[in-house]
Structure 1
Amino acid sequence: MGVAIRAAGEGDRELVVRLLDEAFQDDPVSAWVFPEAEYRRSTHHRLMAAFTDIVLAEGRVDLTEDGSACALWLSVPAGEHIGDDDGPAQLREAVDPANERVELIGRLTERIHPTHRAHEYLWMIGVAPGRQGEGLGSALIAHVLDRCDRDGLPAYLEASNARSRALYTRLGFTTLTERVLDLPGGPRMWPMWREPRG
């Protein structure tokens, strides 16, 4: 049985924010950005809301019809960076002004993001914790990768944990080992690239 997927709109914003907040509460990178668990529970959703707003305005949010999983995608032209130079500082100011790591994560991932070719960028994918392992994430990604293959477009993402990295490898992504990011005093992030398939 297939997974029904639709494009999310403004009316889905709160659902998408809640999904991402729940899915990433225990993620190593989220725990690095917000190291104190109680503070993370009360603040993390603001970062997910900022990401959601950016992608609703500039990209595409795919949502499973039952609302249990979502994926945030941006189309990146060749030679361009995501956002602008002030973006990470503006994000920090909007989300958590006293938290330098909100800005730092944006600057560091910006630095490793390839710009040599146009590509689809999977910014985030979130699956409700009780539904993980059911293939929803794979279905959401395949939905866009099929289009990438038809259009001859590569895809890019940063894996934030070993489990997601294994999933992305199964879907044809390879690690850009020269760009692997070790967050200062924190976890590793794996930038991954996928060439279109004929």
Structure 2
Amino acid sequence: MVLDIRRAGQADRDAVARLLDEAFRDDPVSSWVFPDPEHRAAVHGRFLGVFVDVALAEGRIDYAADGSAAALWLRVPAGDPEGHDAGGEDDVPARMRAVADPDNERCELVGRLTGAVHPTAEEHEYLLMIAVAPGRQGEGLGTALMRPVLERCDRDGVPAYLEASSERSMRLYERLGWEFTGEAVQLPEGPLMWPMWRKPQPAPTSPLA
């Protein structure tokens, strides 16, 4: 499908945060971080809003023109998996806890655990989050939103990385060339997350070549 994509700016910040909130409200990881549904409804948007702020400041957000989908990307240099020093003022896991739910250590722990397995050897594109509005899921919007970046990665020889938060999403990513790294993140008394790495894909060979 053809999707009209633009780059989100600061004026889109709250709309993107609402989209993430709606898309991930019942996600296994979000449900683990905030087990109580009423409490989750109150703080989940603030929690994911930190991701939006990071992507606006340090990466980019590809946004469907109709507001139906958004992908948050960071270019991560070799040797710097998160781009932040633990304990510093730009410590994202600590900021997520402080902004959303200071007494809830799970807000911070999920970022610490995923950061511990984030690859460091190569520069790569990091798909921090991708969200599709609940009423539009299953239409191929996520694939259409990712495809231009993945095609650019292939042209430039740049790998990509993400963490899948469900087995269903992991299978979808596999169709686009991502592979499970083999080291899952086990959230304490909670679900698994699946780190996935995508090597640059060779251009298809013409049948007439």
TM-score between the two structures when normalised by the length of structure 2 = 0.92
Confirm or deny that 1:31 pairs with 2:31.
Answer: yes
Could you tell me how far 1:65 is from its partner in structure 2? 1.1
1:195 aligns with 2:196: no
- Amino acid corresponding to residue 142 of structure 1 in structure 2: R
| Equivalent residue in structure 1 for 2:160, among 152, 155, 159 | 155
1:110 counterpart SS class: helix
| Structure 2 residue aligned with 1:8 | 8
Distance 1:91 1:45 in 2: 11
Task: Could you tell me which runs of 5 or more consecutive residues in structure 1 were left unpaired when the two chains were aligned.
Answer: none
Give the whole-Å Cα distance in 2 for the aligned partners of 1:41 and 1:84.
30
| CA apart distance, 1:48 | 1.2
Q: Is the 8 A contact 2:163 2:193 kept in 1?
A: yes
1:140 matched to 2:145? The reply is yes
Percent identity of paired positions between Structure 1 and Structure 2:
60
CA–CA separation in structure 2 for the residues paired with 1:137 and 1:98: 34
Partner SS, residue 156 of structure 1: strand
Matches within 5 A, 1:5-84: 5-82=5-82, 83-84=84-85
Q: 8 Å contact 2:50–2:95 — kept in the other structure?
A: no
* Structure 1 runs, 4 residues or longer, greater than 4 Å off: none
Whichever structure has more helix as a proportion of its residues is 1
Counterparts of 2:70 and 2:41 in 1: how far apart (Å)? 20
Task: Note the alpha carbon deviations across 1:101-123, whole angstroms, 9 max, x for none.
Answer: 01101100100110110000000
Instruction: Give the partner amino acid of 2:3.
Output: V
Is 1:164 the counterpart of 2:169 in the alignment?
yes
Length-normalised TM-score, structure 1: 0.97
Per the TM alignment, residue 69 of structure 1 is displaced from its structure 2 partner at its CA by 0.3
User: Which of 98, 115, 136 is the aligned partner of 1:110?
Assistant: 115
- Counterpart amino acid of 2:80? E
Secondary structure of residue in 2 paired with 1:141: helix
In 2: Cα distance, 1:9 partner to 1:150 partner: 26
2 CA distance for matches of 1:48 and 1:128?
15
RMSD of aligned residue pairs (Cα, Å)? 0.9
Return the offset for 1:90. 2.9
Question: Which one has the largest radius of gyration?
Answer: 2
Aligned pair 1:124/2:90, yes or no? no
CA deviation vs aligned residue, 1:4-32 (integer Å, no higher than 9, x gap): 11110001111100100000001000000
Instruction: Determine the structure 2 residue equivalent to 1:90.
Output: 95
